[in-house]
Structures are given as C-alpha cells and as structure tokens.
Structure 1
C-alpha cells in the first residue's frame, strides 16, 4: 500500500475565500482540517482546528458570502474548533474530486501553511495515485513531500499513549509542568501519581516521544 505526502498550493488562482482566510490573515496562526463530509460537493461540511483569534475568525467567516453556516467553539485562549458549511468553487470541487476518486483515501489532518499550501497524506495503489496527481487543476502547484510504503505506526495522539502515560501527561498539564514558564517539576508529577521520580520521568519521556511520532 503506497502513500504520498503532498502539498497543493495555488499559484495562478484562488482555491476558495475560506482558504484565503486560513492562510493570509494575521489573526490565524495555524489551521488543520480534521474531518469533512463531501456527500454534497457543492455544499461540503468541514471541521477545523485553528490557532488564532476566535472572535476575529468568526467575524471573517460571517462576512464571507460563500459560507452558509458555521460555528466556533473555543478550546482555550489560543485554540478553537470551527465547523463550516459553504459553497465550493470550481477549483475546490476539482481538488476534492481528484483526491476522493475510487481507490484513494485522504488521511487527516490537512495542514495549512502561510504560503497558501495544504499538506496531507493520501493512500492508494500506485496507478490511482499517479492519476490523482495528473488531475490537479491548472493554476495549482503540487509538491510531493514524501512517497513510500504506508507501513509506519501512525496513530492518533489519543490512541498513542498507554493509560498510565495519559495519567502522567494529564497530571503534568494540571500541575503546570507544560506551562510557559514551567510551574511544576517531575518530582511534583511523581508526587501526584504516587510513584518514584524515575518512574514519572520515564512515563513523561515515553509519552512525549509517542505524541511527537503521532503528530509528525
């Protein structure tokens, strides 16, 4: 089973007004598409994780004619979820069709960059992958970031940790171990977990390693 990691980037034409919002506004730091429903390609539903200013983001969506409905739910002061449903453009429909053809699976998340690119993994048979790349509409560049056999243990962040590792990370977060500046030590985490300092350190180190592997 082969996979490609690709970045698609508009060069001569816009993909969609919401795409422009995601990549060119100073109040948006980072965006990932986590889930989507393309049952209606003319009016798809998308679910994003965004780092930025939730209020200004909501105002921008409300002012975008192509957006029919949306909702913004804060996670903390810097992050929020966003659901949106809206009309698609011709180039956006072409991209959806290209990468949702029979035999291909697009793996979330899709990550946006400041240059307007969207990076994601797509899995399928070699012929189908080549056909998809050939179907990229004009005015859109595609960079192949990685290609190979899909044989790495790519887990979701939630599933990557053991129960004890999740307890350690949860305790560390509550105590302020991951705050900037740091407000707790490994010894504090060990006391919270009622375990040895070395055990707490091992749980945190292994958890952090697994989380990095799951995300990257």
Structure 2
C-alpha cells in the first residue's frame, strides 16, 4: 500500500477559516454531523465560520483549543468533488481531515502507486496541490492502524514549527544553552515576545501529547 499527504487548495468554509491564520482544524465526519478539533490563535474566528456554515451543537473551549460538534455535516452543505475522485481511483481517505493555511490536507491511501498518481493528476488538474509527504506502507505491526510519528504527534502551526526547529538548531535546548530567546528571535526576524509565545505553544502541545506515555 502507498500513502500520501496532500494539501489541496479546495474552496470550503473550514479551509477558508484557516487562511492567513495559525489555526488548525481537524475533522472527523459522522455522516450527520462533524467533530472538529480547533487549535491555535484565531479559533474564535474559525468558530464564527463554522457556526455560519453548519451550526454548532456543542463546544468545549480551553485556552486556544476548541472541541466542536456541529449541527450538520459540512459535506451536506458543500458537496465535495474530492471524494468522488478518490472513489474513481480506488483510493481511501484516512481521517481526520486537516485544514490549515487555507488548504484541505488529505491523507490518502492506495493499494498501488499508479492509483495514487492518477488521483493526484486528476485533483491537480483543477486545484493547486502541495505534497507534504509520501511513503510505502510495508509493515503490518509497525503501521497498525497506519500510525506514524508525524500522525501521532500534535499538529503545530507553521510558525510554531519554525520557532521550535530554529531554537533546536541554534542550541537553545543544549545544556548549557548556546542561544537565548532574544538571539533566536533575531534569527527569525521577530520580536522576542512573539518568538517566546510561538515556542511556548509548541512546547505545550508536545508535552500534553506525550506526557500520557511517560
């Protein structure tokens, strides 16, 4: 089997709500409604988009994290031709869908690489498509249920990933430290407080995701 994670510039309320923001929306469709996990700054604006598009039945809000159950399924309000293309090529969509930076991120599974390639070509004919990753699923034990380190870890916003990667590369986490937050912020071209906020949010997401396994 073969898997690819594709970012598709596909119009829709959830994708549009994340455009030009640091917000990520993860979606699990339940036929009659959607379960959404919204994280990052700008969650309030995303919530307004969701309420306008499908309505919100229930919500839990904690800082920049929101768990929403919608009144209706977005698929019923906004028909999605991507699912039809998936079926045409015998490909499977592995949940959750992820909306980030105005794109719809799909984790697609196919039995052979040719089907995945044809799916990509058909979608790319009508939409801009970004390939985030590709891999061959070779091991039953290691891939059950098709989990990778990337999929098990929480989604970080682009700025959070950049802050964490730059801090690590400059030795911020070495003992003793090789760089201060002010020096890393200068490297990124942002204010120190801005960098520290992105880094704190990234660290918080990672710790909360991993602590239950310690």
For normalisation by structure 2, the TM-score amounts to 0.53
Structure with the higher strand share, 1 or 2: 1
Tell me the CA shift for residue 49 of structure 1: 0.7
Q: Which runs of 5+ in 2 are unaligned?
A: 153-205
> Are 1:107 and 2:94 an aligned pair?
yes
Determine the structure 1 residue equivalent to 2:34. 46
In 2, are the aligned partners of 1:111 and 1:118 still within 8 Å (CA)? yes
Instruction: Decide which structure has the larger Cα Rg and report it.
Output: 1
C-alpha spacing 1:22/1:8, structure 2 compared with 1 (3 Å): same
Tell me the CA shift for residue 79 of structure 1: 0.6
Determine the structure 2 residue equivalent to 1:4. 4
Determine the structure 1 residue equivalent to 2:26. 33
Determine the structure 2 residue equivalent to 1:59. 48
Q: Which runs of 5+ in 1 are unaligned?
A: 161-206
> Are 1:76 and 2:62 an aligned pair?
yes
Q: 1:119 aligns with which of 105, 129, 146?
A: 105
What does 1:162-177 align with in structure 2 at a 5 Å threshold? Answer: none
Q: How many aligned positions are there?
A: 146
Tell me the CA shift for residue 119 of structure 1: 2.4
Cα RMSD over matched residues? 3.6
C-alpha spacing 1:130/1:2, structure 2 compared with 1 (3 Å): same
For normalisation by structure 1, the TM-score amounts to 0.52
**Counterpart-to-counterpart distance in 2, 1:36 and 1:117:** 18
Determine the structure 2 residue equivalent to 1:149. 136
